[in-house]
Structure 1
């Protein structure tokens, strides 16, 4: 049997024939790669390359595809867009129909009103067909008003129908929950909307008013008062209207009397007068708020007996013929109130307008009041008592609660831990005090000075803190014009007076010179030059020690010139014995090295009353220095020829 015949046999056991010519049994590939990405595809042939009838199109499908060629190219044709639909909650958002209506309510147990008319507003919301009823608030009605029917769909009948805007019109009765409302009118938007929907509106009706409310609004008094003057009318017309006058109470006739500025208030509501006294700051008077309390002031009294008890009974209309009125007050006029004379010199703008409209007065020129110029008491600052700083003591003169003086914070931050140190000697007639040496420290952060005395063994003087940190004023400074010592005042050889003690500056730290040279624009040239001259010998010695080029010739020449100057200065010191000076130095130099320690050298000079605190001798000692606090006394003794 051929293969074509075998294909038509039913698929039953024993009826299947295998093609003996078939040699390929592999499956076709369904995976592939494109642009580096793996993708799957349907097989084109079956196992062994057999034809797949499941993936082939029939003739009918091919015919249909041939008819719809553009669809294969451009895809399915787009459907026409649906017609536009706008929901009601969008189309009628915030669109409300308003109707004016009223309803009649019976009133029981009231002989004055058998019924009352209550006016309401009916709102219909088009977005969801809901309704609400609102009653405007009426003052003093005594009824709970406001929202009578909350917003919801109102039932129309018992069949489940609800009110629609087509059911509303003017001139109709509308029943909601057993209460009948008479619709009389609507607003313009409601009228336009209903007419646009083809509804014919009834003519509007007049709103019915409540008879009892109208009765209450009618005046109760239907008679005419017999007089034009009515206190109630005056109170209602002139309530909170006050005339204000500026006056001066002259009390100079009495002992210790003076002129007091006052303000007179005239209350138009009840013709009462009040006088208030104007107080100034530090005028020495207790600030009582009112001089004359608000009351009616009598102008003319009835002739009364001397036995009338004024201190017991108050003044009434029987004792007074005339009271003060607004006509009795005018600018530039004097008036007497309760025995006190007041001169009115000005008034405010409201008072001017009242007199201009009421009495036709136009002259309101203010009167100049002669004021005695108050003598200014000069503030005398007491002299400085010596305790504390001048600024702290000065604050006690300005206020009862003194405040600390302000500090220069920027200066304190910039110059923190910056101290200028000087060596000073005490200038005293006692020979023992001349040998004492002190260290003066000047603090740049707050311009304070402290003095410390280094302790010396076996000197008989306890060293330590001589002066704590404080600001030292220059001699001749006053409390009003205070000048303090500054770094520019400290030169080599200058004298500093500290609370009665005089100190002579003999030496300084090298930091002082470096600081002044770095800030040369802030210090005088003389101060800077004195420090340079003082430190020049030391710098020459250092440069000589650190360099290989000798400078002995320059130093010797300078030394010779300085010795000549010192000898001329020592001629004035006639009490010095040159022979004793030579012998003292030779005895101290026991090893014969020709040098002595600087401390020992200065001690010998002080014992012989040699004025080492002078500028020339200080320069000579510096030139005789040979490093490490050693001094070559042979060069120094050349200034004292034996």
Structure 2
């Protein structure tokens, strides 16, 4: 009968162990031999009720690691597809083979952990003369007599052991890495690998193979490493072949492709559209290109095995043998990658092709391999007026359908759908959480006062260059939240619509904060944007000049250089202090200063870019000690955690000197091992506010207070999201993203303090090293 020691010995406080038990007899120690003779066995039998006896030996050897407090899975689930692999050999007599008394046969022994079965496989050996493969199929194998009542287990297989399976003795010499690690974790020592003994038959076969002479010389093929390394790697050059000196000749533009995998060259001609040339673009099919060409090669001149006529000079009555030394083979040199460069003239079977340019991958390849840095493009000779494309004049647009649809109907006999830029749609379309949509907040500019309070969201879709406008309802405005303008291309105002050429539309360059857009007759002022829009424009600053911080700072630096002393003393001096390492100016003050300096040469979007780049990183909000204390105690109380005494015992055991303090890493590891029912984010927050000494060690008494006390009692509080409240990912700054600007970083980037010197008539502007944020 089991009971909890701290509970009183009263009815209802104890637990009956034999509930549901139906068998109370003792296990028999005898078995029947041959069906009628009883004999005493050495096998361990369970006690009454099927429970094991304390002196019984377990079937499997226990692990050196303690069991976890989790649900124990059956072996066929816990060890599914886990196999111990051993390399072994056995010796087999071979009296029927001359001078070979025995053979060494190498095998692999597989032990399946899920059910204790064993399988023996023999790898294939060429010309062995024996049936190889699976020698012993997967099954449980018994020990040889007189221990045949037991089966082989995991402990019976190890390096250096002899295992007898069905009369054959296998010597284990090695195992794989998984087997070695698994046995070591189970507390079983695994020795070093052993060598296989010499096999007489293998030595005889190797000697015969060396003495055998092939009928043909051995062909040395190029190694496959180059083919694998440079597969699908192509060097691309551009060039021309000037055939104008010939009759009806013209200037041919070429593409030379060099394949690094096998050193072959393919040349394609760039055929202009509507040129009337019927030939295909392939000028030279893929193959090795010889450097010099004097005559056509005969049959067999380039074969790997040249033939020699040893009887006559005739072709039919001769006797031919293979030339093992290749004295009659043609000596041909081919173009390689080191022979190609801009300005090189290739001899393509008598045609001179001049290389003028190459693609970026080719430039990088020659820069890395050969150290070339200069890739100056050569000019192509002027071929005169040879334009074969006639500009088709379209009729004016009639207002039905789109411009693209009307253009396709005019160009094609059979109506076809307009062609879309699918590459742009794939690149600029939604990629996971990256929507490629720029969203701006806007205000309507109107003569009606009621329209001045209306708020809008203008979305620009980068994949299709379309714009949509959505109205956000304001309180007591009389306007509801609705779609103001559907997604479509919007033409710029002041253009003729019924013309053959498509009018200009609003593109991404027109969207920046402070710009006024006239969309479908309504004027909108862009007042802001979301963080994704700012970040995308700053990461792709080459496409958005208003977000290019380098261009903006160069413009400000050029304008500020003549008046730097007066400007700094007027606008920056009140915010700088020589005793502090931080100087912060508000965004509005910076905006006023830059507008006074630059006038209309700087936009509000550029000012926001400067403020975002040099924004002052304020302190992060931290939860107080009381909040963390209540949260941790509340979680322990809610989860009915009763391991405080055990945690205290473990901590006191580690405090050998009795100082009452423990190193932070050790205390953190003990708390994680105690399985306290709190999230790791909350545990990290506890170690941020716990009391420490001058050495940074954690106070034990203060740490235990966070996990509850027997006398502690408080009113239940609503649950909180620990991962969100205490995670570093969700901790926000105590201000908006660019409300304050770090003045030291801004002035340091301008670099005018060292160049111009400090102002004389005003107080010096000290620029100490700013703190890292």
For the criterion TM > 0.5, the same-fold answer is no
* Greater relative contact order (Cα < 8 A, sep 6+): 2
Structure 2-normalised TM-score?
0.31
TM-score by length of 1: 0.36
Structure number, greater radius of gyration: 1
